[in-house]
Protein backbone atom coordinates (compact mmCIF):
# COMPACT_ATOMS: atom_id res chain seq x y z
CA UNK A 1 0.00 0.00 0.00
CA UNK A 2 1.43 3.35 -0.99
CA UNK A 3 1.68 6.32 1.34
CA UNK A 4 -1.04 8.13 -0.63
CA UNK A 5 -3.44 5.20 -0.24
CA UNK A 6 -2.67 5.01 3.46
CA UNK A 7 -3.41 8.71 3.92
CA UNK A 8 -6.67 8.38 1.99
CA UNK A 9 -7.77 5.50 4.24
CA UNK A 10 -6.90 7.53 7.35
CA UNK A 11 -9.08 10.39 6.13
CA UNK A 12 -11.96 8.03 5.36
CA UNK A 13 -11.52 6.35 8.77
CA UNK A 14 -11.93 9.70 10.49
CA UNK A 15 -15.11 10.43 8.51
CA UNK A 16 -16.92 7.26 9.62
CA UNK A 17 -20.14 7.94 11.53
CA UNK A 18 -19.29 5.69 14.48
CA UNK A 19 -22.52 6.41 16.33
CA UNK A 20 -24.55 5.21 13.34
CA UNK A 21 -22.53 1.98 13.20
CA UNK A 22 -22.96 1.43 16.94
CA UNK A 23 -26.73 1.83 16.58
CA UNK A 24 -26.87 -0.69 13.71
CA UNK A 25 -24.85 -3.26 15.64
CA UNK A 26 -26.87 -2.67 18.82
CA UNK A 27 -30.16 -3.21 16.96
CA UNK A 28 -28.86 -6.44 15.48
CA UNK A 29 -27.65 -7.61 18.90
CA UNK A 30 -31.08 -6.80 20.32
CA UNK A 31 -32.72 -8.91 17.59
CA UNK A 32 -30.36 -11.79 18.46
CA UNK A 33 -31.33 -11.50 22.13
CA UNK A 34 -35.06 -11.48 21.35
CA UNK A 35 -34.74 -14.51 19.07
CA UNK A 36 -32.79 -16.32 21.77
CA UNK A 37 -35.39 -15.42 24.41
CA UNK A 38 -38.18 -16.95 22.37
CA UNK A 39 -36.07 -20.05 21.62
CA UNK A 40 -35.75 -19.46 17.87
CA UNK A 41 -32.23 -20.87 17.44
CA UNK A 42 -32.38 -20.82 13.64
CA UNK A 43 -33.00 -17.08 13.74
CA UNK A 44 -30.23 -16.65 16.32
CA UNK A 45 -27.70 -18.42 14.08
CA UNK A 46 -28.84 -16.47 11.02
CA UNK A 47 -28.63 -13.13 12.83
CA UNK A 48 -25.23 -13.97 14.33
CA UNK A 49 -23.95 -14.80 10.86
CA UNK A 50 -25.36 -11.51 9.60
CA UNK A 51 -23.61 -9.62 12.41
CA UNK A 52 -20.28 -11.34 11.78
CA UNK A 53 -20.42 -10.55 8.07
CA UNK A 54 -21.69 -6.98 8.43
CA UNK A 55 -19.48 -4.05 7.54
CA UNK A 56 -20.64 -2.22 10.67
CA UNK A 57 -19.65 -5.09 12.94
CA UNK A 58 -16.25 -5.44 11.31
CA UNK A 59 -15.53 -1.71 11.51
CA UNK A 60 -16.46 -1.53 15.19
CA UNK A 61 -14.34 -4.61 15.94
CA UNK A 62 -11.29 -3.13 14.26
CA UNK A 63 -11.81 0.19 16.02
CA UNK A 64 -12.14 -1.53 19.39
CA UNK A 65 -8.87 -3.44 18.89
CA UNK A 66 -6.85 -0.59 17.41
CA UNK A 67 -8.12 2.47 19.27
CA UNK A 68 -10.38 1.81 22.23
CA UNK A 69 -8.08 -0.72 23.91
CA UNK A 70 -4.86 1.31 23.72
CA UNK A 71 -3.21 1.59 27.09
CA UNK A 72 -5.48 -0.97 28.75
CA UNK A 73 -2.87 -3.71 28.85
CA UNK A 74 -4.69 -5.70 26.19
CA UNK A 75 -3.63 -6.30 22.64
CA UNK A 76 -3.69 -3.27 20.35
CA UNK A 77 -2.19 -3.14 16.89
CA UNK A 78 0.82 -0.87 16.77
CA UNK A 79 0.70 1.28 13.67
Residues 1-60: tens digit of each pLDDT? 677 766 666 768 888 999 999 999 999 999 999 999 999 999 999 999 999 999 999 999
pLDDT at 18: 94
pLDDT at 30: 98
Residue ranges of the domains in the chain? 17-68
pLDDT at 74: 56
Contacts of 31 (CB under 8 A, 6+ apart): 47
Amino acid sequence: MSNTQSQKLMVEWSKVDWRKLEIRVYKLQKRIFKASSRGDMAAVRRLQKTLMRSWSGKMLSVRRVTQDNQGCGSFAANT
